[in-house]
């Protein structure tokens, strides 16, 4: 069990680290003339269809989903690709990046609350302290301690940012329910398929012309799909089958720390001393939550399929 728990934390942290490269890929594709919604839509469609094709060719049994679970798959797909992604992109477009990101990263708080209600996971003092440390570290990393760094924004944009955090929490819980019964590739393939086509429909309705990926960005788009689009989601879904939902969500908060380091090394963005301290605080929160072995806490692995459904 200890080995499984360690693997679960490593999966979640690896997923967050890979997701941290998303900004680099998005900036590259925007420079090539693609808008944000088009980028998200094509990444979802290409990734999900690639997964389903591989399963069809090599292991068709993994394509099977019980009829009773299709509603959960549909809800997870819409939540993952439409609600979380679209509201986050909207918040980014109408408020500062710092505000949008910090609102999105309220997800662990909502996960902790929801996992207590739906999965009976204990909210220990250590878990609460880990959340507090992680949130405090993010404030330092994002520079929210400086009021001048926060731009005034509309209430709708703030609501969208908060909605992205809440929907990410719901997405995590839905993915956990599916992860108990199905292989991560099954979950990610079908949820991405549903979400991708819904996003494509929204793009056709809201955009004059949805941007097709230029041939010149083909290799980078493929790497984008393979990394953040497939591998990261696989690892995070895998972690949900090994450790508690709230633990996985907090461990994945390594993402903004890695993103800051990548921005400094690759994009030559400078890191202030408070940001470096914030990264250390976030990592401290992750270490704290990974050592939470309170009695009576049930992991995702300990939930039987009939108990979860």
CA-CA distance, 170 to 83, in Å (whole number)? Answer: 10
**Averaged pLDDT, 13-23:** 87
Highest mean pLDDT among 174-188, 196-210, 221-235, 276-290: 221-235
Positive or negative CA dihedral for 257, 24, 101, 242? Answer: negative
Give the per-residue pLDDT at 93: 63
Domain that holds residue 289: 2-300
Give the per-residue pLDDT at 214: 80
Q: How confident is the model at residue 308 (pLDDT cuts 50, 70, 90)?
A: very low
Two structure tokens written together for 309 = 């459904």
Q: Would you give the end-to-end CA distance of the chain in angstroms? A: 23
**Averaged pLDDT, 22-48:** 84
Cβ-in-10-Å burial (0-12, 13-18, 19+) of 64 comes to: exposed
Q: How confident is the model at residue 63 (pLDDT cuts 50, 70, 90)?
A: very high
In a domain, 306, yes or no: no
In a domain, 172, yes or no: yes
In a domain, 195, yes or no: yes
Give the per-residue pLDDT at 150: 57
pLDDT at 251 over 60: yes
Q: Any idea what DSSP says for residue 61?
A: G
pLDDT at 153 over 70: no
Q: How confident is the model at residue 296 (pLDDT cuts 50, 70, 90)?
A: very low
CA-CA distance, 206 to 192, in Å (whole number)? Answer: 20
**Averaged pLDDT, 65-94:** 83
| 33 close to 271: Cβ distance less than 8 angstroms | no
Rounded CA Rg of the chain: 19
Report CA 300 to chain centroid distance, whole Å.
18
* Cβ density class 243-266: b for 16+ within 10 Å, e for less: bbbbbbbbbbbbbbbbbbbbbeee
- Distances in Å between the Cα of 218 and the Cα atoms of 109, 203, 215, 260 are 38, 20, 5, 26
| 80 close to 191: Cβ distance less than 8 angstroms | yes
Give the per-residue pLDDT at 161: 81
In a domain, 307, yes or no: no
In a domain, 309, yes or no: no
In a domain, 10, yes or no: yes
**Averaged pLDDT, 247-261:** 80
Give the per-residue pLDDT at 303: 34
Give the per-residue pLDDT at 299: 37
Give the per-residue pLDDT at 96: 59
CA-CA distance, 195 to 51, in Å (whole number)? Answer: 14
- Bigger pLDDT: 271 vs 179: 179
Two structure tokens written together for 100 = 């949008």
Total domains present in the chain: 1
**Averaged pLDDT, 190-204:** 89
Cut 0.85: pTM above it: no
Q: How confident is the model at residue 45 (pLDDT cuts 50, 70, 90)?
A: very high
In a domain, 31, yes or no: yes
Give the per-residue pLDDT at 92: 64
In a domain, 213, yes or no: yes
> Which of 305, 20, 56 shows the shortest CA–CA distance to 190?
56
List Cβ neighbours of 302 (8 Å cut-off, separation of 6 or more): none
- Bigger pLDDT: 270 vs 5: 5
């Amino acid at each position: 069990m200890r080995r499984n728990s360690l693997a679960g934390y490593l999966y979640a942290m690896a997923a967050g680290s890979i997701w941290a490269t998303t900004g680099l890929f998005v900036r590259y594709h925007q420079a090539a003339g693609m808008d944000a919604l088009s980028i998200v839509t094509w990444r979802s469609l290409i990734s999900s269809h690639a997964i389903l094709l591989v399963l069809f060719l090599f292991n068709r049994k993994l394509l099977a989903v019980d009829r009773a679970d299709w509603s959960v798959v549909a809800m997870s797909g819409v939540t993952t690709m439409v609600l979380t992604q679209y509201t986050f992109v909207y918040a980014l477009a109408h408020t500062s990046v710092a505000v949008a990101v910090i609102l999105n990263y309220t997800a662990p708080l909502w996960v902790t609350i929801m996992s207590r209600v739906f999965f009976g996971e204990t909210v220990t003092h250590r878990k609460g302290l880990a959340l507090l440390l992680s949130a405090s570290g993010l404030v330092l990393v994002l520079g929210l301690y400086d009021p001048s760094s926060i731009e005034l924004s509309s209430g709708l944009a703030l609501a969208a940012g908060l909605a992205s955090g809440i929907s990410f929490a719901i997405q995590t819980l839905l993915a956990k329910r599916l992860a108990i019964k199905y292989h991560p590739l099954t979950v990610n393939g079908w949820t991405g398929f549903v979400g991708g086509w819904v996003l494509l429909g929204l793009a056709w309705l809201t955009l004059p012309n949805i941007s097709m990926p230029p041939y010149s960005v083909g290799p980078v788009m493929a790497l984008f799909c393979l990394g953040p689009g497939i591998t990261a989601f696989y690892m995070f879904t895998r972690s949900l089958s090994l450790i508690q939902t709230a633990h996985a969500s907090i461990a994945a908060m390594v993402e903004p720390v890695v993103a800051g380091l990548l921005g400094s090394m690759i994009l030559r963005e400078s890191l202030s001393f408070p940001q470096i301290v914030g990264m250390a605080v976030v990592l401290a929160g992750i270490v704290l939550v990974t050592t939470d072995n309170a009695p009576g806490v049930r992991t995702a692995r300990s939930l039987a399929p009939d108990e979860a459904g």
